[in-house]
Amino acid sequence: MGVRSLALPENAPEQPVSSGNTTGLNTTGGLAREQEEQGTHGRPPQDAGKGAAGREKDVDNLVASAYMFAMQTLYKGRHFNDLEHAHAQSYIKIYYTQSKNLNTAHIGFLERIILKKYQMDRHPEYFMPPPSCYFNPVFEHGFVWTKDKYREIREKRMQQADYYSNIRLFVDLYRNYSKNPGIEFYRKAEVQLGKLRDGQRLLQMFYSCVTNPDDYINQIDNYKNHATTNGQKN
């Protein structure tokens, strides 16, 4: 994929909210609603004790990871210039910077991207705006739009722990693989996702998101061949 974390140049032009129709756009409420969802109004981050520099580094790493996931899931096959990537990542950084807990925020981000992907699959006729528009916190038809659905899911999980457990499992497996890329976690994801009712869709999403999946498939094939040659069970 090759998407890297990009900083906006000092003389970068201000990014417009959208180059298309902005009917229904609220230019003041989106960010406030996002902060309200994360409970960050007037509250210090829970992981602020790491120090400003340490938290800033964590935020930058999570932004890069989150953006890669979003690009592979929502924008597969589409290409954008560096300035577009930089603007989009700067908006995602707002989301993480305003969060109380970076780990919780990251899980929420990934799950909300999956919810958007589900909507795209149901309505392929919908146009997906470029990332600098979609992740702009004042664009209420973008990433902010997933807030209400995700809040509903979280509230439902308080009474029914397995509600939308498929996307939670996917996020857990994807994060484990991202931290420990290799055959063990790749195969674990394949096995567990394959058991789900919508496992094939989630498997395709997983394959799309991991780095060079063909390399790991080849490694798995080599492992199986080696095990067979030595009379071992796969």
Interval 108-167: pLDDT, tens: 999 999 999 989 999 989 889 999 999 999 998 899 889 888 888 888 888 887 778 888
Please say if the pLDDT value at position 186 is more than 80: yes
Q: Are residues 72 and 126 in the same domain?
A: yes
Average pLDDT over residues 166-182: 88
Residue 11: inside a domain: no
pLDDT tens for each residue of 78-109: 999 999 999 999 999 999 999 889 999 999 99
Lowest pLDDT segment from 77-81, 143-147, 180-184, 226-230 = 226-230
Residue 3: inside a domain: no
Read off the pLDDT band of 44 (50, 70, 90): very low
Q: Are residues 148 and 190 in the same domain?
A: no
Q: Tell me which amino acid residue 69 is.
A: F
Residue 6: inside a domain: no
Residue 148: inside a domain: yes
Q: Are residues 149 and 171 in the same domain?
A: no
Pair of tokens at residue 86:
């930089």
Residue 83: C-alpha distances to residues 8, 12, 28, 144 (Å): 7, 8, 24, 22
Q: Containing domain of residue 65, as a range?
A: 27-158
Q: Are residues 85 and 189 in the same domain?
A: no
Residue 20: inside a domain: no
Check residue 75 and give left, alpha or beta (phi > 0: left; psi -120 to 50: alpha).
alpha
Q: Which residue has the tokens 């409970």?
A: 39
Q: Are residues 105 and 193 in the same domain?
A: no
Residue 14: inside a domain: no
Residue 175: inside a domain: yes
Q: Are residues 33 and 125 in the same domain?
A: yes
Q: Are residues 185 and 88 in the same domain?
A: no
Is 198 or 90 the better-scoring residue by pLDDT? 90
Domain end marker among 107, 140, 158:
158
Residue 73: inside a domain: yes
Domain count of the chain? 2
Lowest pLDDT segment from 10-19, 36-45, 118-127, 212-221 = 10-19
Residues 6+ positions from 69 with CB-CB distance below 8 Å = 110, 113, 174, 209
Question: CA nearest 73: which of 180, 206, 171?
Answer: 206
